[in-house]
Amino acid sequence: MCLLILLCFATTAQAQDMIETRLGYNYVDKFEFSDEWQYLTTDMYLLNAGQFTQVINELEQGTTKARRRDYINLESLFISAQLKNAKLFGQQPIVYPLFNFAIDNSKKEYTTRISDHLDAIRIIDKLPLAADERNIDAVIEAKLFTSDSREVFFNIIANQLTNIGKLATPQTAMLSLVGEFGNLIRNVAKRQEYKFSSTIRLYEGQNFDTRLHSVRVYVFVPSFAKVPALRTARLTELLSNSPQGFEKQKLEAALNFKEYPVLVVANYKSLYKMDALTGSEISSETIERRRVRIEQAYSAGLVNDDAYKQEKFFVEYLRNFADLKQNLNSYRLNYKNNSPEANAKTLFAVIQDYKRLKTLARQRDNEFARNSTYQRIFKGEYQSILASADGYLETDHNLKNGKELVNTLLELDQEQSKPFTVAQREFYLNKLYSVELPGPEFLATTLEGEAFTRQVNRLESAQYNDLFAKEVSRLREAVPSEETIAQRNALLDKSSTTKCRTCREEVKQSVRVFNQRLEEQQLEKERARRLDLGQQIERNVIVWLKQDACMDNAFKTQFPTDTLPAHIQRLREKKEELKREIYELEGIQKTPPADPKSDLLKEHNQRLAGRLKLLEQGYADICSAEKSLCGCE
Out of 74-83, 404-413, 462-471, 479-488, which region has the weakest mean confidence (pLDDT)? 74-83
Instruction: Compute the distance between CA of residue 184 and CA of residue 203 in angstroms, rounded to an integer.
Output: 26
- Tell me, what's the pLDDT at 552? 87
> What is the percent of the chain with per-residue pLDDT over 90, rounded to a whole number?
27
Distances from the Cα of 184 to the Cα of 170, 177, 286, angstroms = 21, 10, 43
127 beta partners: 40
Confidence bin at 391 (pLDDT 50/70/90): very high
User: Phi and psi at residue 441, in whole multiples of 5°?
Assistant: -65, -40
Instruction: Compute the distance between CA of residue 128 and CA of residue 164 in angstroms, rounded to an integer.
Output: 19
Instruction: Compute the distance between CA of residue 187 and CA of residue 182 in angstroms, rounded to an integer.
Output: 9
What are the start-end ranges of the E strands in 359-491?
none
As to burial, measured by CB atoms within 10 angstroms (0-12 exposed, 13-18 middle, 19+ buried), residue 515 is middle
Mean pLDDT of 589-608: 84
Instruction: Compute the distance between CA of residue 28 and CA of residue 269 in angstroms, rounded to an integer.
Output: 12
Out of 74-83, 260-269, 514-523, 596-605, which region has the weakest mean confidence (pLDDT)? 74-83
Task: Give the mean pLDDT of the chain.
Answer: 82
Instruction: Compute the distance between CA of residue 196 and CA of residue 96 in angstroms, rounded to an integer.
Output: 8
Residue partners of 78: CB distance under 8 A and separation at least 6: 97, 99, 100, 142, 143, 144, 145, 153
pLDDT by residue (tens digit) across 282-298?
A: 788 888 888 888 888 78
- Tell me, what's the pLDDT at 40? 82
Confidence bin at 134 (pLDDT 50/70/90): low
What b/e string do you get for 306-322 counting C-beta neighbours within 10 Å, with b at 16 or more?
bbbbbbebbeebbebbb
Residue partners of 117: CB distance under 8 A and separation at least 6: none
Residue of 66 and 259 predicted with greater confidence: 259
217 beta partners: 25, 264
Q: Among 622, 619, 611, which Cα is nearest to 569's?
A: 622
Residues 261 and 52 sit within 8 Å (Cβ to Cβ)? yes
Please determine, for residue 2, whether its predicted confidence score (pLDDT) is greater than 50: no
Confidence bin at 463 (pLDDT 50/70/90): very high
Q: Among 48, 5, 53, 10, which Cα is nearest to 28's?
A: 5
Q: How many CB atoms lie within 10 A of CB 400?
A: 15
Please determine, for residue 365, whether its predicted confidence score (pLDDT) is greater than 60: yes
Confidence bin at 139 (pLDDT 50/70/90): low
Could you tell me the residue ranges of all domains in the chain? 19-272, 291-466, 531-629
**pTM of the predicted model as reported, rounded to 2 decimal places:** 0.64
Residues 139 and 82 sit within 8 Å (Cβ to Cβ)? yes
Out of 125-139, 432-446, 534-548, which region has the weakest mean confidence (pLDDT)? 125-139
Instruction: Compute the distance between CA of residue 403 and CA of residue 393 in angstroms, rounded to an integer.
Output: 6
Residues 75 and 102 sit within 8 Å (Cβ to Cβ)? yes
Number of H helices, E strands in the chain: 19, 12
Residues 110 and 185 sit within 8 Å (Cβ to Cβ)? no
Mean pLDDT of 124-153: 67
- Tell me, what's the pLDDT at 585? 86
Please determine, for residue 17, whether its predicted confidence score (pLDDT) is greater than 70: no
